[in-house]
Amino acid sequence: MLDKKYPSLPSDSYDPTIYTLGRVGPHNVVIACLPAGNTGTSAATAVAGRMRHKFRSLQFGFMVGIGGGVPSARDDIRLGDVVVSRPDLEHGGVVQYDFGKAEQSGRFHRTGHLNQSPTLLLNVINGVQRDYELGQQTYSIHMQRYLEDENLEEFTRPTTEPDLLFKATYPHIDTLNCSDCDTSQTIFRPLRNTKIASTRIHYGTIASGNQVIKDAATRDRIVKDLGGRILCFEMEAAGLMNDFPCLVVRGCGGVYKRIVIVDAIG
Protein backbone atom coordinates (compact mmCIF):
# COMPACT_ATOMS: atom_id res chain seq x y z
CA MET A 1 0.00 0.00 0.00
CA LEU A 2 2.85 2.38 0.82
CA ASP A 3 5.67 3.28 -1.56
CA LYS A 4 7.88 3.83 1.48
CA LYS A 5 7.31 2.95 5.12
CA TYR A 6 8.72 5.07 7.96
CA PRO A 7 9.69 3.93 11.49
CA SER A 8 6.87 3.62 14.01
CA LEU A 9 6.23 6.26 16.65
CA PRO A 10 7.05 5.52 20.31
CA SER A 11 4.14 4.44 22.49
CA ASP A 12 1.93 7.18 23.91
CA SER A 13 0.03 6.67 27.17
CA TYR A 14 -2.50 9.30 26.11
CA ASP A 15 -3.20 7.80 22.69
CA PRO A 16 -3.63 4.00 22.38
CA THR A 17 -3.94 4.15 18.58
CA ILE A 18 -1.21 2.42 16.57
CA TYR A 19 -0.19 4.47 13.54
CA THR A 20 1.59 3.35 10.39
CA LEU A 21 3.62 6.11 8.76
CA GLY A 22 4.80 6.21 5.17
CA ARG A 23 4.63 7.82 1.77
CA VAL A 24 2.47 7.34 -1.32
CA GLY A 25 3.98 9.18 -4.26
CA PRO A 26 4.86 12.67 -2.98
CA HIS A 27 2.37 12.50 -0.10
CA ASN A 28 3.20 11.71 3.52
CA VAL A 29 0.56 9.35 4.90
CA VAL A 30 -0.52 8.11 8.30
CA ILE A 31 -2.73 5.03 8.63
CA ALA A 32 -4.82 3.93 11.60
CA CYS A 33 -7.31 1.10 12.11
CA LEU A 34 -10.23 1.04 14.49
CA PRO A 35 -9.68 -1.22 17.53
CA ALA A 36 -10.66 -4.85 16.99
CA GLY A 37 -14.33 -5.38 17.78
CA ASN A 38 -15.13 -1.66 17.76
CA THR A 39 -17.53 -0.54 15.06
CA GLY A 40 -19.81 2.38 14.44
CA THR A 41 -19.66 6.12 14.11
CA SER A 42 -18.50 6.77 17.69
CA ALA A 43 -15.43 4.54 17.32
CA ALA A 44 -14.50 6.25 14.05
CA THR A 45 -14.95 9.70 15.59
CA ALA A 46 -12.67 8.80 18.50
CA VAL A 47 -9.83 7.49 16.33
CA ALA A 48 -10.05 10.41 13.89
CA GLY A 49 -10.10 12.92 16.75
CA ARG A 50 -6.95 11.51 18.33
CA MET A 51 -5.27 11.40 14.93
CA ARG A 52 -6.00 15.05 14.21
CA HIS A 53 -4.70 16.02 17.64
CA LYS A 54 -1.42 14.14 17.16
CA PHE A 55 -0.84 15.07 13.50
CA ARG A 56 -1.66 18.77 13.28
CA SER A 57 -0.71 19.10 9.58
CA LEU A 58 -3.35 16.71 8.26
CA GLN A 59 -4.96 18.10 5.13
CA PHE A 60 -7.63 15.52 4.37
CA GLY A 61 -8.39 11.83 4.73
CA PHE A 62 -9.74 8.69 3.14
CA MET A 63 -12.06 6.37 5.05
CA VAL A 64 -11.36 3.04 3.36
CA GLY A 65 -12.87 -0.35 4.10
CA ILE A 66 -15.68 -2.76 3.35
CA GLY A 67 -19.38 -2.04 2.94
CA GLY A 68 -22.57 -3.65 1.71
CA GLY A 69 -23.44 -2.80 -1.89
CA VAL A 70 -26.98 -1.93 -2.96
CA PRO A 71 -27.54 -3.48 -6.41
CA SER A 72 -30.34 -2.11 -8.55
CA ALA A 73 -31.49 -1.98 -12.15
CA ARG A 74 -29.69 1.35 -12.48
CA ASP A 75 -26.48 0.45 -10.63
CA ASP A 76 -25.06 -2.99 -11.42
CA ILE A 77 -23.07 -3.31 -8.20
CA ARG A 78 -21.46 -6.68 -7.61
CA LEU A 79 -19.16 -8.39 -5.14
CA GLY A 80 -15.69 -6.86 -5.39
CA ASP A 81 -16.82 -3.53 -6.85
CA VAL A 82 -15.83 -0.24 -5.22
CA VAL A 83 -18.09 2.64 -4.17
CA VAL A 84 -16.72 6.17 -3.74
CA SER A 85 -18.71 8.91 -2.01
CA ARG A 86 -19.71 11.79 -4.27
CA PRO A 87 -22.37 14.49 -3.74
CA ASP A 88 -25.59 14.61 -5.74
CA LEU A 89 -28.54 17.00 -5.74
CA GLU A 90 -29.96 15.52 -2.53
CA HIS A 91 -27.03 14.34 -0.40
CA GLY A 92 -23.43 15.38 0.19
CA GLY A 93 -21.93 11.98 -0.59
CA VAL A 94 -22.64 10.39 2.82
CA VAL A 95 -25.99 10.32 4.61
CA GLN A 96 -26.64 9.09 8.16
CA TYR A 97 -29.76 6.96 7.91
CA ASP A 98 -30.30 6.29 11.64
CA PHE A 99 -30.07 9.82 13.05
CA GLY A 100 -33.44 11.47 13.65
CA LYS A 101 -36.67 10.99 15.56
CA ALA A 102 -39.60 8.60 15.54
CA GLU A 103 -42.91 10.34 14.78
CA GLN A 104 -46.37 9.45 16.10
CA SER A 105 -47.29 7.98 12.73
CA GLY A 106 -44.58 5.38 13.22
CA ARG A 107 -42.36 6.85 10.53
CA PHE A 108 -38.73 7.74 11.21
CA HIS A 109 -37.90 11.34 10.35
CA ARG A 110 -34.23 11.79 9.55
CA THR A 111 -32.66 15.03 10.77
CA GLY A 112 -29.27 16.68 10.46
CA HIS A 113 -26.90 17.04 7.54
CA LEU A 114 -23.37 15.81 6.85
CA ASN A 115 -20.73 17.88 5.10
CA GLN A 116 -19.50 16.80 1.70
CA SER A 117 -15.91 15.80 0.97
CA PRO A 118 -13.24 18.50 0.40
CA THR A 119 -13.49 20.22 -2.98
CA LEU A 120 -9.92 19.22 -3.84
CA LEU A 121 -10.77 15.52 -3.52
CA LEU A 122 -13.98 15.95 -5.50
CA ASN A 123 -11.98 17.55 -8.30
CA VAL A 124 -9.57 14.63 -8.25
CA ILE A 125 -12.52 12.24 -8.62
CA ASN A 126 -13.36 13.77 -11.98
CA GLY A 127 -9.88 13.03 -13.29
CA VAL A 128 -9.83 9.50 -11.88
CA GLN A 129 -13.25 8.75 -13.34
CA ARG A 130 -12.21 10.06 -16.74
CA ASP A 131 -9.09 7.89 -16.77
CA TYR A 132 -11.15 4.87 -15.73
CA GLU A 133 -13.67 5.37 -18.53
CA LEU A 134 -10.81 5.71 -21.04
CA GLY A 135 -9.23 2.49 -19.83
CA GLN A 136 -6.28 4.32 -18.30
CA GLN A 137 -6.84 3.26 -14.70
CA THR A 138 -3.75 2.41 -12.66
CA TYR A 139 -5.40 0.62 -9.74
CA SER A 140 -5.30 -2.70 -11.62
CA ILE A 141 -1.50 -2.47 -11.77
CA HIS A 142 -1.26 -2.04 -8.01
CA MET A 143 -3.81 -4.79 -7.36
CA GLN A 144 -1.77 -7.20 -9.47
CA ARG A 145 1.18 -6.69 -7.13
CA TYR A 146 -0.87 -8.00 -4.23
CA LEU A 147 -2.32 -10.90 -6.22
CA GLU A 148 1.20 -12.07 -7.04
CA ASP A 149 2.42 -11.85 -3.43
CA GLU A 150 2.23 -15.33 -1.86
CA ASN A 151 2.07 -13.76 1.60
CA LEU A 152 -1.22 -12.05 0.74
CA GLU A 153 -3.27 -15.04 -0.39
CA GLU A 154 -6.19 -13.84 1.74
CA PHE A 155 -6.61 -10.80 -0.50
CA THR A 156 -7.89 -12.14 -3.81
CA ARG A 157 -10.46 -11.21 -6.40
CA PRO A 158 -13.94 -12.77 -6.19
CA THR A 159 -14.21 -15.97 -8.21
CA THR A 160 -15.41 -15.93 -11.81
CA GLU A 161 -18.55 -17.81 -10.79
CA PRO A 162 -21.82 -15.83 -11.05
CA ASP A 163 -22.43 -13.38 -8.20
CA LEU A 164 -25.87 -14.56 -7.07
CA LEU A 165 -28.35 -11.83 -6.19
CA PHE A 166 -31.40 -13.10 -4.30
CA LYS A 167 -34.78 -11.42 -4.19
CA ALA A 168 -35.12 -9.03 -1.27
CA THR A 169 -38.07 -11.00 0.11
CA TYR A 170 -36.18 -14.31 0.22
CA PRO A 171 -35.08 -15.33 3.77
CA HIS A 172 -31.53 -16.65 3.53
CA ILE A 173 -30.47 -19.90 5.17
CA ASP A 174 -27.84 -19.09 7.78
CA THR A 175 -24.69 -20.27 5.99
CA LEU A 176 -21.57 -18.39 4.98
CA ASN A 177 -21.77 -18.92 1.22
CA CYS A 178 -25.49 -19.38 0.39
CA SER A 179 -24.74 -22.93 -0.80
CA ASP A 180 -28.01 -24.16 0.74
CA CYS A 181 -30.16 -21.28 -0.53
CA ASP A 182 -32.87 -21.72 -3.17
CA THR A 183 -31.33 -20.55 -6.45
CA SER A 184 -34.79 -20.24 -8.00
CA GLN A 185 -35.14 -17.10 -5.86
CA THR A 186 -32.25 -15.33 -7.59
CA ILE A 187 -32.47 -12.35 -9.93
CA PHE A 188 -30.89 -12.98 -13.32
CA ARG A 189 -27.85 -10.87 -14.10
CA PRO A 190 -25.72 -11.51 -17.19
CA LEU A 191 -22.01 -12.19 -16.80
CA ARG A 192 -19.86 -9.13 -17.18
CA ASN A 193 -17.76 -8.54 -20.25
CA THR A 194 -14.33 -9.88 -19.29
CA LYS A 195 -12.68 -7.38 -21.64
CA ILE A 196 -13.72 -4.68 -19.19
CA ALA A 197 -12.04 -4.39 -15.79
CA SER A 198 -13.57 -6.96 -13.44
CA THR A 199 -13.69 -4.41 -10.62
CA ARG A 200 -15.94 -1.47 -11.38
CA ILE A 201 -15.97 1.87 -9.60
CA HIS A 202 -19.28 3.49 -8.68
CA TYR A 203 -19.67 7.11 -7.52
CA GLY A 204 -22.56 8.38 -5.43
CA THR A 205 -24.20 8.35 -2.01
CA ILE A 206 -23.12 6.05 0.81
CA ALA A 207 -25.50 5.41 3.72
CA SER A 208 -23.83 5.30 7.13
CA GLY A 209 -25.11 4.34 10.56
CA ASN A 210 -24.50 2.29 13.70
CA GLN A 211 -26.51 -0.75 12.63
CA VAL A 212 -25.44 -3.72 10.51
CA ILE A 213 -28.10 -4.07 7.80
CA LYS A 214 -28.43 -7.78 6.97
CA ASP A 215 -32.08 -7.83 5.89
CA ALA A 216 -32.60 -6.90 2.23
CA ALA A 217 -36.17 -5.73 2.78
CA THR A 218 -35.03 -3.35 5.54
CA ARG A 219 -32.22 -2.15 3.30
CA ASP A 220 -34.61 -1.42 0.44
CA ARG A 221 -36.99 0.45 2.75
CA ILE A 222 -34.18 2.68 4.00
CA VAL A 223 -32.98 3.28 0.44
CA LYS A 224 -36.50 4.31 -0.57
CA ASP A 225 -36.80 6.67 2.41
CA LEU A 226 -33.51 8.30 1.39
CA GLY A 227 -34.61 8.97 -2.15
CA GLY A 228 -33.66 5.71 -3.83
CA ARG A 229 -30.10 6.56 -4.87
CA ILE A 230 -27.96 4.76 -2.29
CA LEU A 231 -25.02 2.69 -3.54
CA CYS A 232 -23.64 1.25 -0.34
CA PHE A 233 -24.16 0.84 3.42
CA GLU A 234 -21.37 1.13 5.99
CA MET A 235 -20.91 1.92 9.69
CA GLU A 236 -18.32 4.64 10.29
CA ALA A 237 -18.28 7.53 7.82
CA ALA A 238 -21.10 9.49 9.45
CA GLY A 239 -18.86 9.94 12.49
CA LEU A 240 -16.24 11.76 10.43
CA MET A 241 -17.81 13.95 7.76
CA ASN A 242 -18.58 17.04 9.88
CA ASP A 243 -15.28 17.14 11.78
CA PHE A 244 -12.74 15.32 9.63
CA PRO A 245 -12.70 16.21 5.90
CA CYS A 246 -12.45 12.94 4.00
CA LEU A 247 -13.50 10.87 1.02
CA VAL A 248 -15.17 7.52 1.70
CA VAL A 249 -14.10 4.48 -0.33
CA ARG A 250 -15.80 1.12 0.23
CA GLY A 251 -15.23 -2.26 -1.34
CA CYS A 252 -18.42 -4.29 -1.69
CA GLY A 253 -17.98 -7.45 0.36
CA GLY A 254 -19.71 -9.65 2.90
CA VAL A 255 -18.01 -8.34 6.05
CA TYR A 256 -17.16 -4.94 7.52
CA LYS A 257 -13.55 -3.90 8.08
CA ARG A 258 -12.40 -0.48 9.12
CA ILE A 259 -9.35 1.49 8.14
CA VAL A 260 -8.62 5.19 8.01
CA ILE A 261 -5.94 6.57 5.70
CA VAL A 262 -5.11 10.24 5.87
CA ASP A 263 -2.74 12.51 4.04
CA ALA A 264 -0.37 14.39 6.33
CA ILE A 265 1.17 16.94 4.01
CA GLY A 266 2.56 19.81 6.01
User: Per-residue pLDDT averaged across 15-44, rounded?
Assistant: 90
> Considering the entire predicted model, what is its pTM?
0.82
Q: Above 60 in pLDDT, residue 175? A: no
**What percent of the chain is modeled with pLDDT above 90?**
28
Q: What is the DSSP secondary-structure string of 12-26?
A: BTTB---EEEEEETT
Which has more pLDDT, 52 or 90? 52
Confidence bin at 159 (pLDDT 50/70/90): low
Confidence bin at 121 (pLDDT 50/70/90): very high
Question: How much is the pLDDT for 98?
Answer: 84
Taking Cα atoms as reference points, which of 193, 205, 203, 195 lies closest to residue 234?
205
Q: How far is CA 2 from CA 12, 125, 170, in A?
A: 24, 21, 42
Beta bridge partners of 85: 204
Q: Above 70 in pLDDT, residue 158? A: no
User: Per-residue pLDDT averaged across 226-253, rounded?
Assistant: 89
Taking Cα atoms as reference points, which of 88, 32, 4 lies closest to residue 258?
32
User: Per-residue pLDDT averaged across 20-46, rounded?
Assistant: 90
Complete domains list, the chain, with CATH:
64-252 (3.40.50)
